[in-house]
Amino acid sequence: MADSPLPRVRLPATAAQPACDLPAIGQGTWYMGEGLAPRRDEVRALQQGLELGLTLIDTAEMYADGGAEEVVGEALAGRRDSAFLVSKVYPWNAGRDNAIAACERSLSRLGTDHLDLYLLHWPGSIPLEETLEAFERLRESGKIRRFGVSNFDVDEMEALAGVPGGGDCAVNQVLYHLGSRGIEHSLRPWQRRHAMPLMAYCPLAQAGGLRRELLTHPEVLDLAAGLGVTPAQLLLAWAIRPVEGRRDVFAIPKAVQREHVTQNAAALAIELDDEALARLDAAFPAPDRKPPLDIV
C-alpha cells in the first residue's frame, strides 16, 4: 500500500477547456437500470462512490435504453457538481442534428444541463466530420465540455486525428483488463504519443468468455493474498498501473454492493511492485503482434 496521494490521470487541455486531473478509478453503469438490482441500491452505490472519491461516472444512452442514465440522474440530484459525468451516443444517432437531439435526451434523463464528456460509442457509417460538427455545436452551447470516442482501434484513431478538430478528442474508451491486453501492442502506444488517456471498461473481465477465470487464477489469488487485497482490487490496481512512470488509464468498474464500492475505492491506494507485475506478465503476457480490438 502507498501513503502517497491517490493516483490521478490528466485530461489534457483543449482549445476550450483547461487540463483536468481525475481519479484513476471511476464508476461504470453498464447493466444498471435493468432491474438486475434494486434501483435504490444502484443509486446509493453511485452516491457512495462519489463520497469515496470515485467522481468519474460513465453511462450511455444504450444502457437499459436510457434507464442507466435515469439511475445516474437520481444519484446526482443535488450533487451534480460532485461528479465528472460521461455519456455516450449511438453511432446511428451521431449525425449533424441527430447527435444534438440524442444529447438533449440524455441530459433530460440525467437531470443536468451539461456533460463533462460525450463519447461516440463505437465507429459507425456517419462521417466523423458530421459527428465532430455536432460535438462542436454542443460544446459551443455549453451542453458538453469535451468529446471523445469509444471502441476505436488505432487505424480509426488515425482517421479521427486527420479530421479538423479531431485532435481535441479527450479519451478513447475500450475494453481492457489483464486477460485482454491487445491494446498494448499498437493502440495504447499511439494514444500515449498523443497524450490521450484510455478509459478501460470491463476492467474486472466481466465480459463473458473474456473473463478467462481471472478472479480465480492461482497467480492472481496468490498475489492478492500476499498484498492483503481482493483479486478484484488486484486487477484494478493492475489496470491503472503507471507505465514508464506515467498513468494514462481510467478504470470504470460497475458496483452495486456497498462492500464492492468500498473495495474499488481502496484499490486506488494499491501499488504493484516490479516483482508482482513480472509475475502477472508471465501468467498473462502482452501480445507480440496486433490482435483485433476486443469489443463487447
Each residue of 28-48: pLDDT tens digit? 999 999 999 999 999 999 999
What span, in angstroms and rounded, lies between the C-alpha atoms of 123 and 113?
26
Coil, helix or strand at residue 8: strand
Which pLDDT value is given to residue 15? Answer: 85
pLDDT for the residue 211: 56
Q: What values do phi and psi take at 206, rounded to 5?
A: -65, -15
- Sorted by sequence, the CB contacts under 8 Å of residue 69 that are 6+ apart come out as 33, 59, 60, 61, 63, 87, 106, 109, 110
Question: Is residue 59 packed enough to be buried (19+ CB in 10 Å), middle (13-18) or exposed (0-12)?
Answer: buried
- What is the torsion angle, in degrees rounded to the nearest 10, for the CA atoms of residue 46, residue 149, residue 90 and residue 208? -60
- Cα 25 to Cα 153: distance, rounded to the nearest angstrom: 22
Which active-site residues does the annotation give? 63
Q: For residue 10, give the nearest of 278, 208, 196 by alpha carbon.
A: 196
Global confidence as pTM: 0.96
Q: For residue 86, what are the contacts with CB-CB under 8 A and spacing of at least 6?
A: 56, 57, 58, 59, 115, 116, 117, 118, 119, 199
To 5 degrees, how large is the angle CA 32–CA 21–CA 146? 65
Cell of 48: 457512495
Set of cell numbers at residue 31: 447493466
The three-state (H, E, C) secondary structure of 11-34, written as one string: ECCCCCCCCEEEECECECCCCCCC
d(CA 10, CA 146): 13
**Helix %, strand %, coil % for the chain, to 5?**
45, 15, 40
Which parts of the chain register pLDDT below 50?
Answer: 1-3, 208-209
What is residue 2's predicted lDDT score, i.e. its pLDDT?
40
Measured distance CA(114)–CA(108) in Å, rounded: 10
β-pair type (115-120, 144-150):
parallel
| pLDDT at site 285 | 95
